[in-house]
A and B are shown apart, each in its own frame.
Chain A
Amino acid sequence: MTALTEATRPGAGGRGLIDRLTRVRELGIVLALAALFGVTGAVNPSFLSVGSIRDILLNSAIVAMLAVGQTLVIVTRNVDLSISSIVGLTGFGGALVLADHPAVPIPVVIAGCVTLGAACGAINGLLVGMAKVPALVATLGTLYAFRGIDYAWAGGRQVNAADMPESFLALGSRSVLGVPLLALVTLTVLLAVGWMLRNLRSGRELYAIGSNPDAALLAGIRVRRRVMAAFVANGALAGLAGVMWAARFGTVDATVATGRELDVIAAVVVGGVAIFGGSGTVFGAALGALLLTGITSALAVLRVDALAQTAINGALLIAAIVLDRLLALRVAGTLRRRRYRDAR
């Protein structure tokens, strides 16, 4: 892990080497994906059809979006368990406004949901960054609090597809140049956040905080502000995911996305982001989301016995992590040997 942590920190070695390694870091998960698609496609070629691939991209778009946000937080050695509740709150809120006030333009609704999500994230950020409550406890609290607000707001109401404007629902199913719109949105966010984490000072400082919070403070990094920003950004992305949820599923009530936080954290960890912060990329996290979604889709296509699916899902997940870990260790070993050689 040490080698990898260093590898993601700029200036820790030759630029070319770092580039190669970062690429390699996600190699494990890419291979796992290739194996999954290869085997499933061999058994049932329709799994690799254009329609099927499009479905899988669409299915993973929301989880991937949440995984990108979660990575920002986890990299700083924190965690946000409340995202599923933020998705629920913003998804229901957005759907409700669209249903009851059709005159409100869709972009305003989307912006409103993102703002609401950011506000929820700010509450998390204040609790964790300013009040120094451990993230696990603080966001567990807001997980219930936000969901509770959602319940109270909804009061048992359900917003259905027929209540929302057709143009909004179309966002959830439309494709641009053959790629689902929601997947494109996630991809755009992914690229933007990935670039920021890699190249901007604020991005690099998130890694520094996660690697060693005390050292980061001593180095003059404004830890509180950065942690706060990470939570706000995560909340905003969860808000965006909430709108996407409403557009995609069309039937929305107060229980939307309940329990989804664990899927997201699993995707992030599978994607090679260290749960104790300081290393990992959003690209890995997004690939993790794609892998998890892919496994579920593959099992559905492979005519696997329904009762065994959950167990197999877990086994494949562990297999993917082990494969990734073995590759990572091998790479770390190679790196160590090379350094030793260079030093002589």
Chain B
Amino acid sequence: MKTRAVAALVGTALLVSSCGGTTKGDAAPQQSSAPAATANPNAPLKQGLKIAFLPKQVNNPYFTIADGGGANAGKEFGAEVKEVGPSDANASSQVSYINTLMQQRQDAIVISANDPNAVVPALKQAMSAGIKVVSYDSDSGQDGRHLFVNQASAEDLGRTEAQLIAEQIGGKGKIAILSATPNATNQNTWIDFIKDELKKYPDMELVKVAYGNDDDQKSFTETQGLLRSYPDLKGIISPTTVGIAAAARYLSNSPYKGRVKLTGLGTPNQLRKFVKDGTIDGFELWNPGDLGYLAAYAAAALASGQITGAEGEKFKAGKLGEYTVGAKGEVLLGKPTVFTKDNIDDFNF
């Protein structure tokens, strides 16, 4: 189902500001503070760690990139990183994989949970067998993992999307949102923050939230409907990769191209053509490769005893620099990156 692409859109990474001074491949342990109960911040990352990535679904481009980032990180610190997982994003399909990984005595499991609750019992068992568990992209229940690597906070994503569209239409005029399904939790959370941010722009009016159900055809139809029923529409925010691609494809061949601004969440490869032909001025996303990269480093730091997952602990994640564990064992990747025609060619995912 297309919903997995949406579900995948749960976070962000931007390195740019945080990587100053760190050399790529720097796997040396962080010589710093943050003493925790049993954590030894000076412990070196162990060699030959076995880390398994368990995405929601293995044939999903988003996870292919994220897990590829994890594999790159593994190469840097000499770990064996592999990706296993179901081909459908069902709630229960990951449990048998967790059990298998436990029997294989992996050092760490990095999981994007299809269902936050369904995987917890199996993960707890793995944890009691000494396996370190890191969730990324989509969190599992808090007692089923040591750390959650969060790609972006919902608040950052929502507010920055509103700011992007405001900037593009000059802070004035009617806008609409083209979302995924009406009950998509991620999108609805972001939309609440978009609405809240829009209060700062009295001249902008959100006229409608349309739902393209993360289906190409439906997203096309909804885009057409928005343009026909609001002839003076100035901009559209589409906080879903399927929606923004469909809307861009429609706009690029219509008289509305360039006149109606489009922004939201998408991947650079998907939208490269539309940024270059002037349909889209700018859109944003986290870098999924960095997400996997950070998750792999977090898993290695846990497995090497550098950190335990307690709040305030610090660890170093290669080229991304140093990260601090936040409340509830969360590690935040960073603010979303904005892609425009000036920088889009620097990214390939």
Residues of A within 8 A of B229 (CB): 44, 46, 300-303
Q: Are B269 and A258 in contact (CB under 8 A)?
A: no
Q: Distance (Å) between the CB of B170 and the closest chain A CB?
A: 25
Central interface residue in B64, B87, B224, B242, by most chain A CB within 10 Å = B224
Q: How many A-B residue pairs have CB under 8 A?
A: 106
Q: Are B221 and A156 in contact (CB under 8 A)?
A: no
Contact partner of A249 among B210, B231, B249, CB < 8 A? B249
In the complex the two chains form, what is the Cα distance from A105 to B88 in whole Å?
Answer: 35
Q: Are B211 and A306 in contact (CB under 8 A)?
A: yes
**Chain A 59-97 per-residue mask, 1 if CB under 8 angstroms from chain B, else 0:** 100100000000000000000000000000000000000
Residues of B within 8 A of A46 (CB): 228-229, 231
Known: A52-B228, A161-B273, A306-B182. A156 touches B218 (CB 8 A): no
Known: A51-B255, A151-B59, A249-B249. A300 touches B224 (CB 8 A): yes
- For the complex, is A5 an interface residue (Cβ under 8 Å from B)? no
- For the complex, is B204 an interface residue (Cβ under 8 Å from A)? no
Q: Are B224 and A55 in contact (CB under 8 A)?
A: yes
Residue of A nearest to B55 (CB): A156
- For the complex, is A250 an interface residue (Cβ under 8 Å from B)? yes
In the complex the two chains form, what is the Cα distance from A307 to B179 in whole Å?
Answer: 12
**Which residues of chain B have a CB within 8 Å of any CB of chain A?**
1-2, 58-61, 63-64, 87, 182, 208-211, 216-218, 220-222, 224-226, 228-229, 231, 242, 245-246, 249, 253-255, 269-274, 276
18 sample A-B contacts, Cβ–Cβ < 8 Å, listed by A number: A44-B228, A46-B229, A47-B228, A151-B87, A154-B59, A155-B59, A156-B58, A157-B61, A161-B272, A245-B216, A251-B242, A251-B249, A259-B1, A293-B221, A297-B225, A301-B229, A306-B209, A309-B211
**Residues 148-206 of A contacting B (Cβ, < 8 Å):** 148, 151-152, 154-158, 160-163, 173
Residues of A within 8 A of B225 (CB): 297, 299-301
- For the complex, is A255 an interface residue (Cβ under 8 Å from B)? yes
Residues of B within 8 A of A62 (CB): 217
Known: A55-B224, A151-B87, A250-B249. A258 touches B273 (CB 8 A): no
Q: Are B254 and A251 in contact (CB under 8 A)?
A: no
Residues of B within 8 A of A248 (CB): 249
Q: Are A300 and B221 in contact (CB under 8 A)?
A: yes
Residues of B within 8 A of A152 (CB): 59
- For the complex, is A296 an interface residue (Cβ under 8 Å from B)? yes
Residue of A nearest to B183 (CB): A307
Residue of A nearest to B231 (CB): A46
Q: Distance (Å) between the CB of A130 and the closest chain B CB?
A: 30
Known: A161-B274, A301-B225. 9 other contacts (CB 8 A): A52-B224, A59-B224, A161-B249, A161-B273, A251-B242, A254-B59, A300-B228, A306-B208, A306-B211
Contact partner of B273 among A52, A162, A300, CB < 8 A? A162
In the complex the two chains form, what is the Cα distance from A157 to B253 in whole Å?
Answer: 25
**Residues 19-48 of A contacting B (Cβ, < 8 Å):** 44, 46-47
Residue of A nearest to B249 (CB): A250
**Residues 251-287 of A contacting B (Cβ, < 8 Å):** 251, 253-256, 258-259
Q: Distance (Å) between the CB of A135 and the closest chain B CB?
A: 24
Q: Are B221 and A158 in contact (CB under 8 A)?
A: no
In the complex the two chains form, what is the Cα distance from A162 to B61 in whole Å?
Answer: 16
Q: Distance (Å) between the CB of A282 and the closest chain B CB?
A: 21
Q: Are A300 and B216 in contact (CB under 8 A)?
A: no
Q: Are A301 and B269 in contact (CB under 8 A)?
A: no
Contact partner of A173 among B217, B222, B253, CB < 8 A? B253
Known: A160-B269, A162-B272, A253-B61. A296 touches B218 (CB 8 A): yes
In the complex the two chains form, what is the Cα distance from A307 to B209 in whole Å?
Answer: 10
Residue of B nearest to A254 (CB): B59
Residue of A nearest to B67 (CB): A156
Residues of A within 8 A of B221 (CB): 59, 293, 296-297, 300
In the complex the two chains form, what is the Cα distance from A154 to B59 in whole Å?
Answer: 7
